[in-house]
Amino acid sequence: MKRWRDLSLLMPLSAAVPLVLAYLFPTAMMFVLLAAWLAAVFVLVLRHEKRRKEHEIQELRQSQQQFFMHVLSHQRHDWMNDLQLIFGYARMGKNDRVEEIVARVSDDMHKEGRIAKLGLPDLVFYLMTFKGENREIGLHVRVDEELHYAGSLTPDEQEGLIRAVRSSMAAYRYSGLAAKVSVPALRIVFGEEGGEATLFIEPENDPEAVPVLHRAVEEALAPYSLIAQADEKGTRIRWKLPART
């Protein structure tokens, strides 16, 4: 990236050469040379910017592909674990255990279906791919009913919610509190109250972490219009829902 920045500076600066010559020798030929030089620099800068953007897009695409492969690898690992458990219990004749696993997988699929219908694509994408990003702290998402938040948040505000979740995760992890819990996890609960959407973030079975998480969420939401409200069990974020016709 430094190479691209250096070229972006050098090409416009090179125009100083004909400018100085035209100033010292103000002839028609020098002004023609100056015009030709500036035109050439303009064309080269445009080509350079086009190549730089293509390079950045390619890097972003490669990064996304690697991330997707990482997420799919984790999901495949989870699926294989479930299949091995089902196969093992089936061979041992433990049908009750098989039914438990199938019921759990079915319940997880229904939960993911409700998350997918929230209508906030950026936030949904983050929640659905979370396992590929962090496995040290669990994230349990609860959507008790089919909620639809489409059109209630801008992409920037959705990014604010993602930052709030990430910041609470980081605060929980690096505060050392997560290490004191056998199975550290955060719970996110979506809901609606009085024409407002709500997102509640709480540490599971760890009340000591509540103020730590609240400070992290407040700091993450500072650049946005969203406001975090402290609760004895966690932090609640509210935003207005559009009027429904």
Average pLDDT over residues 81-89: 89
Give the C-alpha separation, 122 to 57, whole Å. Answer: 19
Mean pLDDT estimate for the chain: 81
Give the C-alpha separation, 169 to 162, whole Å. Answer: 11
Which pLDDT does position 125 carry in this prediction? Answer: 85
Give the C-alpha separation, 145 to 59, whole Å. Answer: 39
Q: Superfamily for 115-240? A: Histidine kinase-like ATPase, C-terminal domain (3.30.565.10)
Note the pLDDT tens digit of each residue in 204-242. 888 899 999 999 999 999 998 888 999 888 999 999 887
Which pLDDT does position 78 carry in this prediction? Answer: 78
**Closest by CA position to 236, among listed 198, 203, 186:** 198
Burial of 175 by CB count in 10 Å (0-12 exposed, 13-18 middle, 19+ buried)?
Answer: middle
Give the C-alpha separation, 214 to 158, whole Å. Answer: 18
Percent of the chain with pLDDT over 90: 17
**Residue predicted with more confidence, 68 or 127:** 127
Give the C-alpha separation, 27 to 7, whole Å. Answer: 30
Is the pLDDT assigned to residue 52 strictly greater than 50? yes
Which pLDDT does position 234 carry in this prediction? Answer: 92
> Which DSSP state fits 26?
-
Is the pLDDT assigned to residue 56 strictly greater than 60? yes
206 contacts 240 by C-beta, under 8 angstroms? no
Which pLDDT does position 4 carry in this prediction? Answer: 47
222 contacts 209 by C-beta, under 8 angstroms? no
Which pLDDT does position 201 carry in this prediction? Answer: 92
234 contacts 220 by C-beta, under 8 angstroms? no
- Which one-letter amino acid corresponds to residue 139? L
Note the pLDDT tens digit of each residue in 88-111. 989 999 999 999 989 988 888 888
Query: Any idea where the domains of the chain sit in the sequence?
Result: 2-58, 115-240
Note the pLDDT tens digit of each residue in 131-144. 666 667 888 888 87
Average pLDDT over residues 141-157: 85
Percent of the chain with pLDDT over 70: 82
Which pLDDT does position 12 carry in this prediction? Answer: 59
Give the pTM. 0.66
**Triad 136, 220, 191: Cα angle to 5°:** 80
